[in-house]
Amino acid sequence: MKKIVLCLISLLIMFSASACSKDKAAILFNRNKITADNVMDYSFVFQPNQRIYYLVIIPKKIKTRSIEIQIIKKDNQYQRLGYNLYWSYSAQLKDDQMYYYDDYVVISQPGAYVMKVYSKDNPTKTLCMSQFFVKN
């Protein structure tokens, strides 16, 4: 009986400690247009009025084929964490883009920004988000 209990406990510990994880959505930023050669040359700090190329990777197929992209500026002017919606865009995914979307944005104001991506299937749940900075 002790061997069976020890076996069950060891199996439970083994399954709970395994490193299995599901694929998650992600955003990559780059100074240059994202290609297969430079996809790993990502950056999080950019200059004002510079093109910020981004790649949104979506592992699950979205039913409506449309996503909402928002850029939110963290406003720390008065030593408090305020948030302002800086930019928003609704993108339609094409047939060959069902698992990714890439584009660029130009931001002229220095500050800390957060990019959030939502699916039109479930607009209250964030697919992914990532932070970047625009500095002089």
- pTM, entire model: 0.79
Rounded Cα gap, residues 21 and 23, in angstroms = 7
- State percent of the chain over pLDDT 90: 46
pLDDT tens-place string over residues 35-49: 888 888 889 999 999
Taken in order of first residue, the domains within the chain and their CATH numbers are 22-134 (2.60.40.1930)
Q: Is 112 helix (H, G, I), strand (E, B) or coil?
A: strand
**Residues constituting the chain:** 136
Rounded Cα gap, residues 87 and 28, in angstroms = 18
Tell me whether strands 66-75 and 45-46 are parallel, antiparallel or unpaired. unpaired
Lowest mean pLDDT among 60-69, 106-115, 124-133: 60-69
